[in-house]
A and B are shown apart, each in its own frame.
Chain A
Amino acid sequence: MGFYLAQLLTGLANASSLFLIASGLSIIFGVTRIVNFAHGSFYMLGAYLAYTLVTTLQGGIPGYWFSVLAAAVLVGGIGLVVELTILRRIYRAPELFQLVATFGVVLIVQDATLAIWGAEDLLGPRAPGLDRAVRLMGEPIPEYDLALIAIGPAVLAAIWLVFHRTRWGVLVRAATQDREMVGALGVNQAWLFSAAFVLGSALAGLGGALQIPREAVSLQMDLSIIGEAFVVVVIGGMGSVTGAFVAAVLISVLNAFAILIFPQVSIVLPFVVMAAVLIVRPYGLFGRPGSEHGGAEEPEQPLRLLDQRSTMVLLALVAMLAFSPAVVSDFTTILLVDVMVATLFAVSLHFMMGIGGMVSFGHAAYFGVGAYAAAMAVKMLGWGMLPAMALGPVAAALAALFFGWFCVRLSGVYLAMLTMAAAQILWGVTFQWQEVTGGDDGILGVWPAEWASSDRVYFYLALVLCLGGIWLLRRVAHSPFGYTLRGVRDSRIRAEAIGIDTRFHQWMGFTLAGTLAGLAGAVFVFSKGSVFPDALSIGHSIDGLIMVLLGGIHALAGPVYGAMAMVLIEDWVSRLDYWRFIFGGIILTVVLLAPDGIAGGVRRLIQLVRRDAA
């Protein structure tokens, strides 16, 4: 009995830590509708700042708690700077575009932290006065765990009081429900947003600072927490602080007991729980319908077919690409294959997001399934290169068909998070099922057939397949099916009223996007000769997302620009020291100069040039 109590208390202590970071994320999303990837970075900064303060002050019990609070306040200040200098300028950008900016902040914070605090993990002191364990029913329970168990609900109560007893809190809740109405009533939204962002960042900083006595402060803290924090927010319902608390308790306690029975389960457990919750409750436990979308934005312009001159320019560019191996070095053709694979991947994701109106945080799943299917066909079935390559998109289509059926029942951020859960579950299977997938040692030796083994021949094979895929998606976007999808995206109700089966169309759109991502995966695996679970990882999905958003979601050319920019800039800057800082800076520059993405920036540039010429 005592043993289970101890396990429960440990779970609850973890729940408090998780709640602190998730609550801040939930508040930020609720008010500003920003999917804040930088939240993990704020958490990490809180931990580093608290470490520095605690070890410099050496002030016993008051010194420790002062340091923790001071770190939270400092992180709130950093949040304010980020909000004022970057986010405030891009609230009017397309949905989720702010996410790109926060991604840039993540990169900058990573390198800044490395530069300031160094690479080595830092182990802070234990909390003074709470540095031992007490025995409850014969089981040792760390005192600090008990303190955390108290802090979590205390913070929840404080937030509740602020939200229900202060004017500011009432406005925050009002904004969470209906931003336009709050604005219409004359509330200064700008300051409301800033304040919510500061509060959210400070909570993340507090969460990080309170971790000092429990773990070493390290550079991995940001990315290791962010996925789980999102899961908690979504299970609880976006914007609901109480929901975040319940979800944090649910996840942490389940994990504490699940590892007794099945120790390997930790890597996917939160995502499985999230998938189950979302299938039963499409808005999370405490979320409201309508909590899933970003702010209102201008209706999208219809897509236009290319005029004759643009078509000629495009054909000329394709011809240039096709003849490029004759002039450039061998390595450049290899780089161009990478660019083409990334472009097809981004275009397929754009088809789903831009045309289909379904945001995906897990598109790499289908890329990875395609790559793994092709690799396994070669290694286990002994297939040749071309049939294996054909199997890639087929397998990806089946996976997309299966997961898409569940995903299209949701919308907005909830849909996105369910795609992420699907991807993470597939990743977990690939990672864990060593006998079949090779685990994280991957599958090696998947090289092109003899006739295609020269860099140049493979370049042309990739050119045909990738450009073919991109052309197909473009063609579909302009087909009746594409028109229907865009209609569903812009107004589901009107589309249903004229007799369109909206879910079926979205499901098929999802599957088509997955299929083409699988084709990209199949081309990828033969160009690299090996595939690892990284291909399905969240990180890879996020790369795709950044390419699409950075390129510009409202234009068919957007993902092409985005993919080229990402691959080429990364290839270029990663030669430099502190390249993540530079890369993050470039991303922020693009975000601020072109809030409608690179495609929008290019379009405006062309207009300017024409006007100047005229």
Chain B
Amino acid sequence: MTLIRRTVLGALAALPLAALMPQIARAADTIVLGEVNSYTRLPAFTEPYKKGWELAIEQINAAGGVLGKDLVVVSRDDTGDPATAIRIAEELIAKEGAVMIFGTFLSNIGLAVADFANQKQVFFLASEPLSDALVWSKGNKYTYRLRPSTHMQAAMLAEQAAKLDAVKWATVAPNYAYGQDAVAAFKAELTRLRPDVEFVEEQWPPVFKIDAGPTVRALEASKPDAIYNVTFGGDLAKFVREGSLRYLFDDRPVVSLLTGEPEYLEPLQGETPNGWIVTGYPSTDIDTPEHKAFAEAYMAKFGEAPKTGSIVGYNSVLSIAAAITKAGSTDTEAMLAAMEGLEVSSSPTGPFMFRAADHQSTMGAYVGKTALVDGQPKMVDWTYADGAAYLPSEEEAAKLRPAE
């Protein structure tokens, strides 16, 4: 026993030394990309994302890599904490020799890493965070963002919402920056398109802790013509279940952000509400040749249909590869110059580009309706909404950013 105790304590005492050990030098013919995301905090969204970038890396390397070198991703878990994410970003750059950083899901972590990138002059491609602040009010020279932002997705929905007869609207959104941005953007866009609408009720349940019964009751009490929903994940399931039990959705159109994404839609299974207008990703139904090739490769490799995260992870790596190819080197300034107006001409979701003025990509989203098809949740009547149509013009967007 004593011996074991000593060995274990000795091993514990030696742990700090592990940090001092020299890293195994990486081969010179590779390009190292740093990646950080909330793998343990939000596995439901980050696991498909990881599979997406893994597939892209595999395909690009099989086709000869970039600039004749293989891409290597060093991927780390940020544990859901912004301070840890920054430490990891430092390590990826200082120790692993990463030429740039991509990833992050939570908006606050995205903002923290973006600020770090600005301070340390590192190129950062924010893959998943939706926050408008990331490219606008807190945008910086070193940060680009791939996924269609809160504003863009809310604007896509507002366009559809304006076609409804509804005048009195109620909103329900998780009480944090994402929910607040999503409601503000939707209100602004809808009021612009339909000056006659009024917003009669707002509910702000804490994120992942919705008390669905009272929230549904409060919405019902305001007797709105239509409802705008921003809750997601577990909150969404509770909200849908309580709402349908209490007839909240009867004869009442619902417009719902992100609900068409497989990550959020599939868990609803047989209780998927019918006819909600949503943004999302009808992954198995898109039949462009690019998407078919992607989906088949994905299914073959992982044995499941791609999700929104998969497409974001995949397109992230496509964008980075395109940027490095265009730059001709992995020098930060060269990559940044390449990113300005970078065209990604072929991706599973169609072509998109990165706007020079506000560093937002024009990758779009799919807008459609929810339905149960053969007992499975699906998006139907969907169309692809090109992101470019839902962004302010480049001149206006540039004004939203701090002076550089």
Residue positions of A touching B, CB distance < 8 A: 3, 6-7, 10-11, 13-14, 110-111, 114, 119-123, 126, 132-133, 140, 142, 145, 213-216, 218-221, 224, 252, 255-257, 259-260, 263-264, 266-267, 328-332, 334-335, 338, 431-432, 434, 439-442, 444-445, 447, 524, 528-530, 532, 534-535, 564-565, 568-572, 574-575, 579-580, 589-590, 593-594, 598, 601-602, 605, 608
Contact in complex: A534, B115 (CB < 8 Å): no
Contact in complex: A441, B209 (CB < 8 Å): no
Complex CA gap A221/B213 in Å reads 18
Number of interface residues of B (CB under 8 A): 75
CB-based closest 10 A-B pairs: A119-B43, A216-B237, A10-B213, A256-B214, A121-B267, A331-B94, A444-B115, A119-B44, A218-B234, A263-B204
Contact in complex: A14, B83 (CB < 8 Å): no
Interface residues of B in 1-41 (CB under 8 A from A): 2, 4-6, 8-9, 12, 15-16, 18-20, 40
Contact in complex: A266, B19 (CB < 8 Å): no
Q: Which of A120, A145, A214, A224 is close to B267, meaning CB atoms less than 8 Å apart?
A: A120
Q: Which of A257, A532, A571 is close to B112, meaning CB atoms less than 8 Å apart?
A: A532
Among A126, A574, A590, residue most surrounded by chain B Cβ atoms (within 10 Å): A574
Contact in complex: A133, B203 (CB < 8 Å): no
Asked, given contacts A123-B271, A331-B91, A528-B112, whether A575 binds B76 with beta carbons under 8 Å apart, the answer is yes
Complex CA gap A570/B88 in Å reads 12
Interface with A: B239-247, B345-353, B356-364, which one?
A: B239-247
Q: Which of A3, A220, A329 is close to B217, meaning CB atoms less than 8 Å apart?
A: A3
Contact in complex: B94, A334 (CB < 8 Å): yes
Complex CA gap A308/B317 in Å reads 59
Contact in complex: B6, A608 (CB < 8 Å): yes
B381 within 8 A of A: no
Neighbouring B residues of A255 by C-beta, 8 Å: 211, 214
Asked, given contacts A123-B269, A215-B241, whether A568 binds B15 with beta carbons under 8 Å apart, the answer is yes
Residue of A nearest to B202 (CB): A263
Q: What are 21 residue pairs bridging A and B, where the CB atoms are less than 8 Å apart in the complex?
A: A13-B213, A14-B214, A121-B44, A123-B267, A215-B238, A216-B267, A224-B208, A252-B211, A266-B211, A329-B95, A331-B95, A432-B175, A441-B108, A445-B119, A447-B119, A529-B112, A529-B115, A530-B111, A532-B108, A568-B15, A601-B5
Neighbouring B residues of A11 by C-beta, 8 Å: 213-214
Complex CA gap A564/B4 in Å reads 22
Total A-B Cβ pairs within 8 A: 226
Neighbouring A residues of B12 by C-beta, 8 Å: 565, 569, 590, 598
Neighbouring B residues of A7 by C-beta, 8 Å: 214, 217
Contact in complex: A267, B206 (CB < 8 Å): yes
Among A119, A140, A593, residue most surrounded by chain B Cβ atoms (within 10 Å): A119
Neighbouring B residues of A114 by C-beta, 8 Å: 40, 43
Complex CA gap A528/B203 in Å reads 34
Contact in complex: B242, A330 (CB < 8 Å): no
Asked, given contacts A431-B176, A441-B138, whether A601 binds B90 with beta carbons under 8 Å apart, the answer is no
Residue of B nearest to A338 (CB): B87
Neighbouring A residues of B19 by C-beta, 8 Å: 332, 335, 568, 571-572
